[in-house]
A and B are shown apart, each in its own frame.
Chain A
Amino acid sequence: MNDERLGFHFDVDGTNFTSAGQASVEVKKNLRQIGISPEIIRKVSIAMYEGEINMVIHAGGGTADVYVSENCVEIVLRDEGPGIANVDLAMQEGFSTAPDNIRSLGFGAGMGLPNMKRYTDEMKIETQLGKGTCITMRVFF
């Protein structure tokens, strides 16, 4: 791994739905500042935004790290939530365990993980029940 890659770190507050997505907004600004193309920025920020929302609604918050290297942007989302019991099922469009109150807030349609996959070139989910989840996504230039 390249040690000189640029990194941004964020703590994602799991108690506040209103502020969910702030890290993605910051990343969007930072990437714009360093001159990344709008198309890449949009993919990165949508994927990260969905992941951030998931950490807030399913896992009580976590951390987000974004690294910019020569050939890609990498997003690493870590939480210590309940983990995902069946990843294949969770990846299906429409599958959701979100409660109704989340749906009335505009999320919980079961499109988050599929969207993350759609907008990134690589996506890896490491998860352990009762321990947490780590999702690594890459968007190549």
Chain B
Amino acid sequence: MKINVIKELLEGRVLCGEDHLDRDVYSACGSDMMSDVLAYVKDQAVLLTGLVNSQVIRTAEMMDMVCIVFVRSKQPTKEMIELADECGMVMLTTDLRMYEACGRLFTNGLTGYGESHE
């Protein structure tokens, strides 16, 4: 799924990484606990979260993720947006809540396990 489609499905706003919207991603995960995200490396490319701090971006960076979506209209600081931009990530924010956001992506084919699921 193109990141651009994620943006449309979630009625999201782009905070940074406009140039990378045509990238393809194959799986996603949603969590507010960063250690849970770090526990399950499966090439998830998209992180949906309601947590807003710089560790969200570092966690995504450690996992080689390419897109962060903040749910419930969370607004990161300018520093956080710059950090994500430097890492070449797309950052989106949506008014949807976590359950609804994950549900829309999942039912449209973006699963939690991507291509490498065995």
Question: Which residues of chain A have a CB within 8 Å of any CB of chain B?
Answer: 17-21, 24-25, 28, 38, 42, 45-46, 49-50, 53, 103, 105-112, 114-115, 118-119
Nearest residue (CB) in B for A24 is B62
Contact (A106, B62) CB under 8 Å given A42-B41, A46-B41, A111-B39: no
Q: Could you tell me the distance in whole angstroms from the C-beta of B64 to the nearest C-beta in chain A?
A: 6
Chain B residues packing against A (C-beta within 8 Å): 32-36, 38-39, 41, 49, 51, 53-56, 58-59, 61-64
CB distance from A81 to the nearest CB of B (A): 19
Q: Are A109 and B36 in contact (CB under 8 A)?
A: yes
A132 CB to nearest chain B CB (Å): 22
Complex Cα distance, B68 from A106, in Å, reads 15
Decide: B39 and A118 in contact? CB cutoff 8 A. Answer: yes
A110 closest partner in B (C-beta) = B35
Counting chain B CB atoms within 10 Å of each CB, which of A20, A50, A105, A119 scores highest?
Answer: A105
